[in-house]
Structure 1
Protein backbone atom coordinates (compact mmCIF):
# COMPACT_ATOMS: atom_id res chain seq x y z
CA UNK A 1 0.00 0.00 0.00
CA UNK A 2 1.28 3.47 -0.89
CA UNK A 3 1.49 6.47 1.42
CA UNK A 4 -1.79 7.75 0.00
CA UNK A 5 -3.83 4.70 0.97
CA UNK A 6 -3.65 3.17 -2.50
CA UNK A 7 -2.60 -0.22 -3.80
CA UNK A 8 0.06 -0.43 -6.49
CA UNK A 9 -2.57 -0.32 -9.23
CA UNK A 10 -3.88 3.03 -7.96
CA UNK A 11 -7.06 1.66 -6.39
CA UNK A 12 -8.01 2.40 -2.79
CA UNK A 13 -6.64 -0.22 -0.41
CA UNK A 14 -8.80 -1.77 2.29
CA UNK A 15 -7.79 0.25 5.33
CA UNK A 16 -8.20 -2.25 8.18
CA UNK A 17 -7.30 -5.82 9.10
CA UNK A 18 -7.88 -7.97 12.16
CA UNK A 19 -4.11 -8.12 12.49
CA UNK A 20 -4.03 -4.38 13.26
CA UNK A 21 -6.50 -4.58 16.14
CA UNK A 22 -4.71 -3.22 19.26
CA UNK A 23 -4.20 -5.80 21.99
CA UNK A 24 -6.57 -4.02 24.36
CA UNK A 25 -9.41 -4.44 21.86
CA UNK A 26 -8.86 -8.06 20.83
CA UNK A 27 -11.25 -9.32 23.57
CA UNK A 28 -13.88 -6.81 22.40
CA UNK A 29 -13.67 -8.01 18.80
CA UNK A 30 -13.90 -11.65 19.87
CA UNK A 31 -16.86 -10.88 22.15
CA UNK A 32 -18.61 -9.17 19.24
CA UNK A 33 -17.98 -12.17 17.01
CA UNK A 34 -19.45 -14.55 19.61
CA UNK A 35 -22.53 -12.43 20.36
CA UNK A 36 -23.34 -11.96 16.68
CA UNK A 37 -22.91 -15.65 15.84
CA UNK A 38 -25.08 -16.69 18.80
CA UNK A 39 -27.84 -14.18 17.97
CA UNK A 40 -28.01 -14.20 14.16
CA UNK A 41 -28.10 -17.64 12.56
CA UNK A 42 -27.10 -18.36 8.97
CA UNK A 43 -30.68 -18.00 7.81
CA UNK A 44 -30.54 -14.31 8.72
CA UNK A 45 -26.87 -13.34 8.59
CA UNK A 46 -24.76 -13.33 5.45
CA UNK A 47 -21.69 -11.73 7.03
CA UNK A 48 -20.42 -9.31 9.65
CA UNK A 49 -17.66 -6.70 9.46
CA UNK A 50 -15.90 -4.36 11.84
CA UNK A 51 -14.89 -0.85 10.80
CA UNK A 52 -13.43 2.33 12.28
CA UNK A 53 -10.37 2.94 14.42
CA UNK A 54 -10.21 -0.55 15.95
CA UNK A 55 -9.35 -2.49 12.73
CA UNK A 56 -7.24 0.48 11.57
CA UNK A 57 -5.12 0.01 14.69
CA UNK A 58 -5.58 3.57 15.96
CA UNK A 59 -8.17 3.00 18.71
CA UNK A 60 -7.70 4.44 22.20
CA UNK A 61 -8.95 2.43 25.22
CA UNK A 62 -11.84 4.12 26.98
CA UNK A 63 -12.34 6.58 24.11
CA UNK A 64 -12.94 4.63 20.90
CA UNK A 65 -16.22 2.98 20.01
CA UNK A 66 -16.86 -0.43 18.47
CA UNK A 67 -18.45 -0.18 15.01
CA UNK A 68 -20.01 -3.19 13.29
CA UNK A 69 -21.84 -3.80 10.02
CA UNK A 70 -24.13 -6.81 9.58
CA UNK A 71 -25.15 -7.88 6.09
CA UNK A 72 -28.47 -9.72 6.19
CA UNK A 73 -30.04 -12.03 3.63
CA UNK A 74 -33.26 -10.02 3.89
CA UNK A 75 -34.26 -6.44 4.63
CA UNK A 76 -33.77 -5.65 8.35
CA UNK A 77 -36.89 -6.26 10.46
CA UNK A 78 -37.94 -4.89 13.82
CA UNK A 79 -36.79 -8.17 15.36
CA UNK A 80 -33.36 -7.81 13.72
CA UNK A 81 -33.03 -4.26 15.05
CA UNK A 82 -34.08 -5.34 18.54
CA UNK A 83 -31.48 -8.11 18.51
CA UNK A 84 -28.78 -5.69 17.34
CA UNK A 85 -29.70 -3.24 20.10
CA UNK A 86 -29.45 -6.03 22.66
CA UNK A 87 -25.96 -6.93 21.40
CA UNK A 88 -24.90 -3.28 21.58
CA UNK A 89 -26.06 -3.02 25.19
CA UNK A 90 -24.48 -6.33 26.21
CA UNK A 91 -21.09 -5.48 24.74
CA UNK A 92 -21.08 -1.92 26.06
CA UNK A 93 -21.91 -3.20 29.53
CA UNK A 94 -18.99 -5.64 29.84
CA UNK A 95 -16.22 -4.00 27.78
CA UNK A 96 -14.64 -1.04 29.61
CA UNK A 97 -12.14 -0.39 26.82
CA UNK A 98 -14.86 0.79 24.43
CA UNK A 99 -17.01 3.91 24.59
CA UNK A 100 -20.22 2.69 22.97
CA UNK A 101 -21.17 0.12 20.33
CA UNK A 102 -22.88 0.77 17.03
CA UNK A 103 -24.31 -1.90 14.73
CA UNK A 104 -25.48 -1.15 11.19
CA UNK A 105 -27.98 -3.53 9.58
CA UNK A 106 -28.23 -3.68 5.79
CA UNK A 107 -29.41 -6.29 3.33
CA UNK A 108 -27.00 -7.79 0.83
CA UNK A 109 -29.43 -6.64 -1.87
CA UNK A 110 -28.81 -3.00 -0.93
CA UNK A 111 -25.07 -3.38 -0.36
CA UNK A 112 -24.58 -4.93 -3.80
CA UNK A 113 -27.07 -2.73 -5.67
CA UNK A 114 -26.07 -0.43 -8.54
CA UNK A 115 -27.42 2.57 -6.61
CA UNK A 116 -25.13 1.88 -3.67
CA UNK A 117 -22.12 0.78 -5.72
CA UNK A 118 -20.12 3.90 -4.86
CA UNK A 119 -21.44 4.45 -1.33
CA UNK A 120 -22.42 1.41 0.75
CA UNK A 121 -20.53 -0.85 -1.66
CA UNK A 122 -17.37 1.23 -1.32
CA UNK A 123 -17.84 1.21 2.46
CA UNK A 124 -17.95 -2.59 2.52
CA UNK A 125 -15.07 -3.08 0.09
CA UNK A 126 -12.61 -0.53 1.45
CA UNK A 127 -13.61 0.57 4.96
CA UNK A 128 -14.88 -2.69 6.49
CA UNK A 129 -12.86 -5.65 7.78
CA UNK A 130 -14.49 -9.12 7.52
CA UNK A 131 -15.36 -10.67 10.87
CA UNK A 132 -17.86 -13.43 10.04
CA UNK A 133 -19.06 -15.05 6.82
CA UNK A 134 -18.10 -14.48 3.20
CA UNK A 135 -16.45 -11.23 2.12
CA UNK A 136 -18.85 -9.16 0.01
CA UNK A 137 -15.88 -7.19 -1.33
CA UNK A 138 -15.22 -10.09 -3.66
CA UNK A 139 -18.44 -9.18 -5.48
CA UNK A 140 -17.64 -5.46 -5.72
CA UNK A 141 -15.26 -3.49 -7.96
CA UNK A 142 -11.96 -1.85 -7.04
CA UNK A 143 -12.36 1.85 -6.32
CA UNK A 144 -10.34 4.93 -7.24
CA UNK A 145 -10.44 8.44 -5.68
CA UNK A 146 -12.74 9.90 -8.33
CA UNK A 147 -15.40 12.59 -8.47
CA UNK A 148 -18.02 9.84 -8.83
CA UNK A 149 -16.89 8.32 -5.52
CA UNK A 150 -16.84 11.75 -3.88
CA UNK A 151 -20.35 12.58 -5.09
CA UNK A 152 -21.91 9.27 -4.05
CA UNK A 153 -20.31 9.07 -0.61
CA UNK A 154 -20.87 12.61 0.65
CA UNK A 155 -22.89 14.54 -1.91
CA UNK A 156 -25.93 14.68 0.39
CA UNK A 157 -24.54 16.85 3.20
CA UNK A 158 -27.33 19.41 2.75
CA UNK A 159 -29.94 16.78 3.64
CA UNK A 160 -27.96 15.74 6.71
CA UNK A 161 -27.76 19.36 7.87
CA UNK A 162 -31.55 19.56 7.90
CA UNK A 163 -31.77 16.50 10.18
CA UNK A 164 -29.01 17.76 12.47
CA UNK A 165 -30.69 21.12 13.00
CA UNK A 166 -33.84 19.35 14.12
CA UNK A 167 -31.87 17.13 16.49
CA UNK A 168 -29.95 20.12 17.84
CA UNK A 169 -33.19 21.93 18.64
CA UNK A 170 -34.48 18.84 20.45
CA UNK A 171 -31.24 18.09 22.37
CA UNK A 172 -32.13 18.36 26.05
CA UNK A 173 -28.88 17.38 27.80
CA UNK A 174 -25.14 17.85 27.44
CA UNK A 175 -24.93 14.14 26.63
CA UNK A 176 -27.38 14.60 23.74
CA UNK A 177 -25.33 17.51 22.43
CA UNK A 178 -22.02 15.64 22.68
CA UNK A 179 -23.39 12.64 20.80
CA UNK A 180 -24.74 14.87 18.04
CA UNK A 181 -21.61 17.01 17.94
CA UNK A 182 -19.40 13.97 17.45
CA UNK A 183 -21.59 12.68 14.63
CA UNK A 184 -21.73 16.06 12.88
CA UNK A 185 -18.03 16.80 13.27
CA UNK A 186 -16.90 13.44 11.90
CA UNK A 187 -19.21 13.68 8.89
CA UNK A 188 -18.11 17.24 8.11
CA UNK A 189 -14.41 16.35 8.27
CA UNK A 190 -14.93 13.33 6.03
CA UNK A 191 -16.97 15.43 3.59
CA UNK A 192 -14.23 18.05 3.61
CA UNK A 193 -11.71 15.37 2.75
CA UNK A 194 -13.73 13.79 -0.06
CA UNK A 195 -14.26 17.28 -1.48
CA UNK A 196 -10.52 17.45 -2.20
CA UNK A 197 -9.90 13.68 -2.54
CA UNK A 198 -9.78 13.52 -6.36
CA UNK A 199 -7.37 16.47 -6.48
CA UNK A 200 -5.12 14.95 -3.80
CA UNK A 201 -5.39 11.51 -5.36
CA UNK A 202 -5.62 9.18 -2.38
CA UNK A 203 -7.63 8.00 0.61
CA UNK A 204 -7.49 8.45 4.39
CA UNK A 205 -9.96 8.09 7.26
CA UNK A 206 -7.73 9.87 9.77
CA UNK A 207 -9.54 12.98 11.01
CA UNK A 208 -6.42 15.09 11.58
CA UNK A 209 -4.90 14.19 8.23
CA UNK A 210 -8.22 14.81 6.50
CA UNK A 211 -8.47 18.30 8.01
CA UNK A 212 -4.89 19.21 7.10
CA UNK A 213 -5.27 17.97 3.53
CA UNK A 214 -8.50 19.94 3.18
CA UNK A 215 -6.65 23.04 4.39
CA UNK A 216 -4.16 22.83 1.53
CA UNK A 217 -6.96 23.62 -0.88
CA UNK A 218 -9.19 25.76 1.36
CA UNK A 219 -6.87 27.64 3.75
CA UNK A 220 -9.59 30.09 4.67
CA UNK A 221 -11.57 27.31 6.36
CA UNK A 222 -8.72 25.33 7.92
CA UNK A 223 -9.25 26.65 11.47
CA UNK A 224 -12.89 25.58 11.45
CA UNK A 225 -12.01 22.17 10.00
CA UNK A 226 -9.37 21.64 12.67
CA UNK A 227 -12.02 22.35 15.31
CA UNK A 228 -14.27 19.81 13.59
CA UNK A 229 -11.49 17.19 13.64
CA UNK A 230 -10.79 17.81 17.33
CA UNK A 231 -14.51 17.65 18.11
CA UNK A 232 -14.83 14.37 16.20
CA UNK A 233 -12.32 12.86 18.62
CA UNK A 234 -13.41 14.69 21.80
CA UNK A 235 -17.03 15.83 21.41
CA UNK A 236 -18.16 19.10 22.93
CA UNK A 237 -21.46 20.09 24.54
CA UNK A 238 -20.80 23.76 23.70
CA UNK A 239 -23.75 24.93 21.57
CA UNK A 240 -21.47 27.45 19.83
CA UNK A 241 -19.31 24.62 18.44
CA UNK A 242 -22.33 22.72 17.15
CA UNK A 243 -23.76 25.96 15.78
CA UNK A 244 -20.55 26.69 13.86
CA UNK A 245 -20.63 23.22 12.33
CA UNK A 246 -24.28 23.12 11.24
CA UNK A 247 -24.88 26.79 10.48
CA UNK A 248 -21.58 28.00 9.03
CA UNK A 249 -18.99 25.43 7.97
CA UNK A 250 -21.58 22.80 7.04
CA UNK A 251 -23.71 24.95 4.70
CA UNK A 252 -20.63 26.39 3.00
CA UNK A 253 -19.22 22.89 2.54
CA UNK A 254 -22.48 21.53 1.14
CA UNK A 255 -22.68 24.35 -1.41
CA UNK A 256 -19.04 23.99 -2.46
CA UNK A 257 -19.46 20.23 -2.75
CA UNK A 258 -22.38 20.63 -5.14
CA UNK A 259 -20.38 23.02 -7.31
CA UNK A 260 -17.34 20.73 -7.46
CA UNK A 261 -18.89 17.24 -7.53
CA UNK A 262 -22.67 17.56 -7.92
CA UNK A 263 -25.39 16.03 -5.76
CA UNK A 264 -25.66 12.41 -4.70
CA UNK A 265 -28.19 10.28 -6.59
CA UNK A 266 -31.51 10.40 -4.68
CA UNK A 267 -32.35 7.43 -2.46
CA UNK A 268 -35.86 6.05 -1.96
Structure 2
Protein backbone atom coordinates (compact mmCIF):
# COMPACT_ATOMS: atom_id res chain seq x y z
CA UNK A 1 0.00 0.00 0.00
CA UNK A 2 1.21 3.52 -0.79
CA UNK A 3 2.44 5.63 2.12
CA UNK A 4 0.69 8.85 1.02
CA UNK A 5 1.92 10.89 3.98
CA UNK A 6 -0.13 9.02 6.59
CA UNK A 7 0.74 6.66 9.42
CA UNK A 8 -0.65 3.15 9.88
CA UNK A 9 -3.78 4.57 11.53
CA UNK A 10 -4.60 7.04 8.76
CA UNK A 11 -3.36 10.20 10.50
CA UNK A 12 -1.06 12.76 8.93
CA UNK A 13 2.63 12.26 9.55
CA UNK A 14 4.40 15.53 10.14
CA UNK A 15 6.06 16.76 6.97
CA UNK A 16 9.72 17.80 6.82
CA UNK A 17 12.46 17.95 9.43
CA UNK A 18 15.67 19.83 10.12
CA UNK A 19 17.53 16.67 9.17
CA UNK A 20 16.14 16.93 5.62
CA UNK A 21 17.49 20.45 5.02
CA UNK A 22 20.01 20.29 2.18
CA UNK A 23 23.58 21.35 2.84
CA UNK A 24 23.23 24.48 0.70
CA UNK A 25 20.53 25.82 3.01
CA UNK A 26 21.87 24.90 6.47
CA UNK A 27 23.70 28.20 6.97
CA UNK A 28 20.53 30.06 6.04
CA UNK A 29 18.44 28.05 8.51
CA UNK A 30 20.99 28.62 11.28
CA UNK A 31 20.98 32.37 10.56
CA UNK A 32 17.18 32.46 10.53
CA UNK A 33 17.04 30.73 13.93
CA UNK A 34 19.54 33.14 15.46
CA UNK A 35 17.99 36.27 13.98
CA UNK A 36 14.43 35.32 14.93
CA UNK A 37 15.49 34.90 18.55
CA UNK A 38 17.31 38.22 18.54
CA UNK A 39 14.58 40.12 16.70
CA UNK A 40 11.59 39.17 18.86
CA UNK A 41 13.22 38.41 22.20
CA UNK A 42 10.69 37.65 24.91
CA UNK A 43 7.82 38.34 22.53
CA UNK A 44 8.61 35.08 20.74
CA UNK A 45 6.88 31.85 21.66
CA UNK A 46 8.16 29.63 18.83
CA UNK A 47 9.24 29.56 15.21
CA UNK A 48 8.85 26.99 12.42
CA UNK A 49 10.02 26.24 8.90
CA UNK A 50 7.68 24.97 6.23
CA UNK A 51 7.80 24.40 2.49
CA UNK A 52 10.56 23.04 0.32
CA UNK A 53 13.52 23.84 2.61
CA UNK A 54 12.56 21.43 5.46
CA UNK A 55 11.24 18.92 2.92
CA UNK A 56 14.68 18.77 1.33
CA UNK A 57 13.38 19.71 -2.13
CA UNK A 58 14.46 23.38 -2.26
CA UNK A 59 16.30 24.51 -5.39
CA UNK A 60 19.20 26.95 -4.83
CA UNK A 61 18.46 30.37 -6.28
CA UNK A 62 14.85 29.50 -7.11
CA UNK A 63 13.08 28.42 -3.92
CA UNK A 64 11.95 30.74 -1.18
CA UNK A 65 12.30 30.41 2.59
CA UNK A 66 8.99 30.01 4.43
CA UNK A 67 8.69 30.75 8.14
CA UNK A 68 5.86 30.68 10.68
CA UNK A 69 6.45 32.77 13.79
CA UNK A 70 4.23 32.47 16.88
CA UNK A 71 4.26 35.28 19.43
CA UNK A 72 2.97 35.22 22.99
CA UNK A 73 0.53 37.99 22.02
CA UNK A 74 -1.38 39.05 18.91
CA UNK A 75 1.07 40.82 16.58
CA UNK A 76 1.05 44.60 16.38
CA UNK A 77 2.64 47.13 14.07
CA UNK A 78 6.04 46.86 15.77
CA UNK A 79 6.00 43.08 15.35
CA UNK A 80 5.10 43.39 11.69
CA UNK A 81 7.89 45.90 11.13
CA UNK A 82 10.30 43.47 12.80
CA UNK A 83 9.09 40.70 10.51
CA UNK A 84 9.53 42.79 7.39
CA UNK A 85 13.10 43.72 8.35
CA UNK A 86 13.93 40.11 9.21
CA UNK A 87 12.65 38.80 5.88
CA UNK A 88 14.36 41.52 3.87
CA UNK A 89 17.70 40.94 5.60
CA UNK A 90 17.68 37.18 5.00
CA UNK A 91 16.60 37.57 1.39
CA UNK A 92 19.31 40.13 0.63
CA UNK A 93 22.12 38.20 2.30
CA UNK A 94 21.47 34.66 1.09
CA UNK A 95 21.58 34.08 -2.67
CA UNK A 96 20.34 30.51 -2.15
CA UNK A 97 16.77 31.79 -1.84
CA UNK A 98 14.44 33.82 -4.02
CA UNK A 99 12.35 35.57 -1.38
CA UNK A 100 11.35 35.04 2.26
CA UNK A 101 7.75 34.55 3.34
CA UNK A 102 6.80 34.91 7.01
CA UNK A 103 3.46 34.07 8.62
CA UNK A 104 3.09 35.93 11.92
CA UNK A 105 0.44 35.04 14.52
CA UNK A 106 -0.22 35.08 18.22
CA UNK A 107 -0.16 31.62 19.80
CA UNK A 108 -3.73 31.93 21.06
CA UNK A 109 -5.03 32.23 17.52
CA UNK A 110 -2.98 29.26 16.35
CA UNK A 111 -4.46 27.14 19.14
CA UNK A 112 -8.01 28.51 18.84
CA UNK A 113 -11.01 26.35 18.07
CA UNK A 114 -11.77 28.50 15.02
CA UNK A 115 -8.38 27.65 13.51
CA UNK A 116 -8.28 24.01 14.60
CA UNK A 117 -8.65 22.66 11.06
CA UNK A 118 -6.79 25.42 9.25
CA UNK A 119 -3.83 27.15 10.89
CA UNK A 120 -3.73 24.55 13.65
CA UNK A 121 -3.55 21.69 11.16
CA UNK A 122 -0.99 23.61 9.12
CA UNK A 123 1.31 24.05 12.11
CA UNK A 124 0.90 20.52 13.43
CA UNK A 125 1.31 18.73 10.09
CA UNK A 126 3.26 20.93 7.67
CA UNK A 127 5.60 22.96 9.90
CA UNK A 128 9.00 21.93 11.28
CA UNK A 129 9.93 23.26 14.75
CA UNK A 130 12.90 25.63 14.60
CA UNK A 131 12.89 27.51 17.89
CA UNK A 132 10.90 27.37 21.14
CA UNK A 133 8.25 25.00 22.50
CA UNK A 134 6.26 23.18 19.82
CA UNK A 135 2.59 24.26 19.78
CA UNK A 136 1.69 21.03 17.97
CA UNK A 137 1.76 19.29 21.35
CA UNK A 138 -1.51 21.08 22.15
CA UNK A 139 -3.25 20.16 18.88
CA UNK A 140 -5.07 16.98 17.82
CA UNK A 141 -4.09 14.51 15.14
CA UNK A 142 -5.63 14.98 11.71
CA UNK A 143 -7.03 12.88 8.88
CA UNK A 144 -7.45 13.89 5.19
CA UNK A 145 -11.23 14.26 5.42
CA UNK A 146 -13.88 16.61 4.03
CA UNK A 147 -13.89 18.79 7.17
CA UNK A 148 -10.20 19.50 6.69
CA UNK A 149 -10.73 20.17 2.99
CA UNK A 150 -13.50 22.66 3.77
CA UNK A 151 -11.64 24.54 6.48
CA UNK A 152 -8.34 24.83 4.62
CA UNK A 153 -9.38 25.85 1.11
CA UNK A 154 -13.14 26.27 1.15
CA UNK A 155 -12.87 30.04 0.63
CA UNK A 156 -11.67 30.24 -2.97
CA UNK A 157 -14.89 31.89 -4.18
CA UNK A 158 -14.34 34.66 -1.63
CA UNK A 159 -10.68 35.09 -2.59
CA UNK A 160 -11.10 35.28 -6.37
CA UNK A 161 -12.27 38.94 -6.51
CA UNK A 162 -9.21 39.97 -4.49
CA UNK A 163 -6.97 37.97 -6.78
CA UNK A 164 -8.45 39.75 -9.81
CA UNK A 165 -7.86 43.12 -8.18
CA UNK A 166 -4.22 42.27 -7.48
CA UNK A 167 -3.75 41.25 -11.12
CA UNK A 168 -5.24 44.55 -12.32
CA UNK A 169 -2.95 46.48 -9.98
CA UNK A 170 0.25 44.66 -11.02
CA UNK A 171 2.41 46.86 -13.23
CA UNK A 172 5.83 45.23 -13.60
CA UNK A 173 7.05 41.84 -14.88
CA UNK A 174 8.35 41.04 -11.39
CA UNK A 175 4.94 41.73 -9.86
CA UNK A 176 3.30 39.52 -12.46
CA UNK A 177 5.82 36.76 -11.82
CA UNK A 178 5.23 36.82 -8.06
CA UNK A 179 1.48 36.77 -8.58
CA UNK A 180 1.86 33.88 -11.01
CA UNK A 181 3.74 31.82 -8.45
CA UNK A 182 1.40 32.59 -5.58
CA UNK A 183 -1.86 32.24 -7.47
CA UNK A 184 -0.83 29.07 -9.27
CA UNK A 185 0.30 27.46 -6.02
CA UNK A 186 -3.02 28.33 -4.41
CA UNK A 187 -5.05 26.83 -7.23
CA UNK A 188 -3.01 23.63 -7.34
CA UNK A 189 -3.24 23.15 -3.57
CA UNK A 190 -6.99 23.83 -3.70
CA UNK A 191 -7.38 21.36 -6.55
CA UNK A 192 -5.55 18.76 -4.52
CA UNK A 193 -7.53 19.27 -1.31
CA UNK A 194 -10.72 19.04 -3.39
CA UNK A 195 -9.86 15.39 -4.13
CA UNK A 196 -7.76 14.69 -0.99
CA UNK A 197 -10.50 12.81 0.92
CA UNK A 198 -11.17 10.55 -2.06
CA UNK A 199 -7.47 9.93 -2.67
CA UNK A 200 -6.92 9.31 1.02
CA UNK A 201 -3.54 10.91 1.61
CA UNK A 202 -1.37 14.01 1.52
CA UNK A 203 1.35 15.49 -0.67
CA UNK A 204 2.86 18.96 -0.85
CA UNK A 205 4.55 18.23 -4.17
CA UNK A 206 2.81 20.46 -6.71
CA UNK A 207 3.40 18.18 -9.69
CA UNK A 208 2.06 15.18 -7.80
CA UNK A 209 -0.86 17.27 -6.54
CA UNK A 210 -1.84 18.10 -10.13
CA UNK A 211 -1.48 14.44 -11.16
CA UNK A 212 -3.69 13.30 -8.28
CA UNK A 213 -6.31 15.91 -9.20
CA UNK A 214 -6.19 14.71 -12.81
CA UNK A 215 -7.28 11.22 -11.76
CA UNK A 216 -10.66 12.62 -10.71
CA UNK A 217 -11.09 15.51 -13.18
CA UNK A 218 -9.37 14.46 -16.43
CA UNK A 219 -11.19 17.20 -18.34
CA UNK A 220 -9.32 19.80 -16.23
CA UNK A 221 -6.03 17.91 -16.01
CA UNK A 222 -4.19 19.99 -18.61
CA UNK A 223 -5.12 23.26 -16.90
CA UNK A 224 -4.09 22.02 -13.46
CA UNK A 225 -0.78 20.65 -14.70
CA UNK A 226 -0.12 23.98 -16.42
CA UNK A 227 -0.84 25.75 -13.12
CA UNK A 228 1.66 23.47 -11.34
CA UNK A 229 4.29 24.24 -13.98
CA UNK A 230 3.62 27.99 -13.59
CA UNK A 231 3.97 27.71 -9.82
CA UNK A 232 7.38 26.06 -10.18
CA UNK A 233 8.60 28.32 -13.01
CA UNK A 234 6.45 31.48 -12.86
CA UNK A 235 6.08 33.68 -15.92
CA UNK A 236 5.41 37.41 -16.25
CA UNK A 237 2.40 36.91 -18.50
CA UNK A 238 -0.85 38.63 -17.46
CA UNK A 239 -2.82 36.34 -19.79
CA UNK A 240 -1.74 33.30 -17.76
CA UNK A 241 -2.98 34.99 -14.59
CA UNK A 242 -6.28 36.01 -16.14
CA UNK A 243 -6.91 32.47 -17.39
CA UNK A 244 -6.49 31.22 -13.83
CA UNK A 245 -9.00 33.61 -12.27
CA UNK A 246 -11.53 33.69 -15.10
CA UNK A 247 -11.76 29.99 -15.98
CA UNK A 248 -10.06 27.41 -13.76
CA UNK A 249 -10.56 29.41 -10.57
CA UNK A 250 -14.35 29.95 -10.80
CA UNK A 251 -14.96 26.34 -11.84
CA UNK A 252 -12.80 25.09 -8.96
CA UNK A 253 -14.59 27.33 -6.46
CA UNK A 254 -18.02 26.06 -7.54
CA UNK A 255 -16.95 22.42 -7.48
CA UNK A 256 -15.30 22.85 -4.10
CA UNK A 257 -18.41 24.37 -2.56
CA UNK A 258 -20.59 21.62 -4.00
CA UNK A 259 -18.27 18.90 -2.70
CA UNK A 260 -17.19 20.22 0.71
CA UNK A 261 -19.16 23.36 1.53
CA UNK A 262 -17.86 26.81 2.46
CA UNK A 263 -15.13 27.55 4.96
CA UNK A 264 -16.46 28.65 8.35
CA UNK A 265 -16.27 32.42 8.85
CA UNK A 266 -13.49 33.49 11.20
CA UNK A 267 -13.93 36.01 14.01
CA UNK A 268 -12.89 39.51 13.00
CA UNK A 269 -10.77 41.90 14.98
Identify whether the pair has TM-score above 0.5, normalized to the shorter chain: yes
CA distance in 2, matches of 1:131, 1:265: 30
Number of the residue aligned with 1:141: 140
SS at match of 1:40: helix
Gaps of 5+ in 1: none
**2:17 matched to which residue of 1?**
17
Question: How many Å apart are 1:240 and its aligned residue?
Answer: 1.5
Q: What is the alpha-carbon distance in structure 2 between the residues aligned to residue 90 and residue 169 of structure 1?
A: 29
Per-residue CA deviations over 1:5-47 (Å, capped at 9, x if unaligned) read 00122101111100000110001100100110111112x1100
Moved over 3 A (4+): none
Q: Deviations over 1:62-121 (max 9, x none)?
A: 000000000011111100000011111111111010101111110111100001000000
- Map of 1:155 onto structure 2: 154
TM-score by length of structure 2 reads: 0.98
* Aligned 8 A contact 1:195 1:260 in 2: yes
Partners of 1:218 and 1:14 in 2: CA distance: 28
Q: CA deviation at 1:193?
A: 0.2
The answer to whether the 8 Å contact 1:2/1:8 transfers is: no
Secondary structure of 2:144 counterpart: coil
2:6 corresponds to 1:6: yes
Residue of structure 1 equivalent to 2:247: 248
| 1:111-122 paired onto structure 2 within 5 Å | 111-122=110-121
Cα separation, 2, equivalents of 1:123 and 1:203: 12
Quote the Cα distance in structure 2 between the aligned partners of 1:31 and 1:237: 31
Distance across 1 between alignment mates of 2:2 and 2:112: 29
Alignment partners' CA distance in 2, 1:67 and 1:225: 24
Cα deviation code 1:148-206 (max 9, x no counterpart): 00000000011111111000111111111111111100000000000000000000010
Matches of 2:136 and 2:103 in 1, distance apart? 17
1:2 positional shift: 5.8
Q: Distance in 2 between matches of 1:244 and 1:172?
A: 18
1:31 aligned partner: 31
2:175 aligned partner:
176
Unaligned runs of 5+ in 2: none
Q: Tell me, what secondary structure is at the counterpart of 2:41?
A: coil
Query: In structure 1, what is the equivalent of residue 260 of structure 2?
Result: 261
The 5 Å alignment of 1:1-268 reads 3-42=3-42, 44-267=43-266, 268=268
Q: What's the RMSD between the two structures over aligned residues?
A: 1.0
1-structure distance, mates of 2:261, 2:190: 13
Separation in structure 1 between the aligned mates of residue 199 and residue 179 of structure 2, nearest angstrom: 29
After TM superposition, give the deviation of residue 236 of structure 1 in Å: 1.1
When the two structures are aligned, how many residues end up with a matched partner? 267
